[in-house]
Copies of this chain bind each other. A is one copy, B any other.
Amino acid sequence: MERLSHFDEEGRSRMVDVSDKSETKRVAIAKGEVKVAPGTLALIKEHKLAKGDVLEVARVAGIMGVKRTPDLIPMCHPLLISGIDLKFNIRDAESIIEIVAIVKITGKTGVEMEALTAVAVAGLTIYDMCKAVDKGIEIGEIKLLKKSGGKSGIYLSDE
């Protein structure tokens, strides 16, 4: 039967030992969506054309958030992240900002949590910067799109 790997045989939480895993090149791609009111999206887009830029602040926050992942998620290993890309796709018809984070490493564990944390922190930052004008913002659909490298091979979500 399967066992949650973060617990040992007696059910205690622990940081799983990866001493014997080999270093491989790993990539994780995660996504999430921020649903705002159409008027809020217009404000974000106009600002982008001016000097201020909600999405650029959110991008910086998301990239910095990757580096805080082991401080936030108790059982995550500290990792030497080798690259981070964070993109936003605006889907006007749905009034949604889609966030996509790509995180790369050569290491012993995958970087799913880092990519997901980037998405979450970027999403929270968009929320924060717009909340004065829009209290109904919702962050959702945070999930893994793709993962490669490591023993378990390539994972691709249905999406």
Contact = CB atoms under 8 A, between A and B. Distances in A.
Interface of A: 2-8, 10-19, 25, 32, 39, 43-44, 47, 50-54, 56-57, 59-61, 63-68, 70-87, 104-108, 112-113, 116-117, 120-121, 123-125, 127-133, 135-144, 147, 155, 157
7 contacts: A12-B87, A14-B84, A51-B56, A67-B78, A68-B71, A120-B123, A120-B139
Contacts of A140: 139-142
A57 to B, nearest CB: 5
Given A117-B124, A123-B142, A140-B140, 18 more contacts: A4-B133, A6-B52, A6-B57, A12-B87, A15-B66, A16-B83, A18-B83, A19-B82, A19-B104, A63-B75, A68-B68, A74-B125, A77-B81, A78-B81, A120-B123, A135-B147, A138-B142, A139-B142
